[in-house]
Amino acid sequence: MDKYEKRILIYTGILLVIFLAAVMRAVSRGISDLPACIPYDPSYLEPRVTALDENTYQVFVVAQMWSFQPSEIFIPVGAEVDFYLTTKDVVHGFHIADKNVNMMAVYGGINKTTVKFDKPGVYPIICHEYCGSGHQHMKAEVIVNYPNK
């Protein structure tokens, strides 16, 4: 093999290792949360928001054609929210604007992720997986700092 070809392979490999190390660093330090699949239970089909304490919330989101329940989620600033996501029918997407949340709602499965809302505002949730003729109407909102706390 030509020496220049070898060098290019080595430098490309080093770059890929740097990329991988950056991802591992973010995950290991808890900077970025990876969604988890948890065992199915029918109780997750009941949409609700529960407060574990002042700053820790659980949101059980149920997707269906063509809405999310609950469609408005009110939480205080600084709250850490565990989202549990499932669907009653077909596969739906679950994306929270300005947050690293990109999950699929799958029938018979529960996906979980944790998000911290440090800034007040309205964070739209949209379905980003085409799910039928009403797909574009499928949205919800996380309202942070309502009422002022």
Partner 1 sequence: MTENEKFIPRGAIAFFILLALLSAAIWFGIYFIMLSRS
Q: What is the binding site for partner 1 (CB under 8 A)?
A: 4, 8, 11-12, 15, 18-19, 22-23, 26, 31-33, 98-100, 115-116
What one-letter code names the amino acid at 112? K
Residue 108 beta carbon to partner 1: minimum distance, rounded to whole angstroms = 28
Helical residues (DSSP H) of the chain, grouped into ranges: 3-28
Cβ distance to partner 1 smaller for residue 62 or 96: 96
- Please identify which residue in the block is written with the tokens 């996906």: 111
Q: Which is nearer to partner 1, 1 or 31 (CB)?
A: 31
- Smallest separation (angstroms) from partner 1 to the CB of 64: 27
The least distance separating partner 1 from the CB of residue 59, rounded to whole angstroms, comes to 17
Nearest to 115 by CA among 78, 77, 82, 93: 82
Residue 91 has what DSSP assignment? -
Nearest approach in angstroms of CB 130 to partner 1 is: 24
Compare residues 4 and 108 and give the one whose CB is closer to partner 1: 4
Taking alpha carbons only, the member of 70, 116, 107 closest to residue 88 is: 107
| Choice between 43 and 122, CB closer to partner 1 | 122
The rounded distance, in Å, linking the Cα atoms of 75 and 56 is 9
Alpha carbon of 144 to those of 3, 8, 27, 116: distances in Å? 58, 49, 25, 11
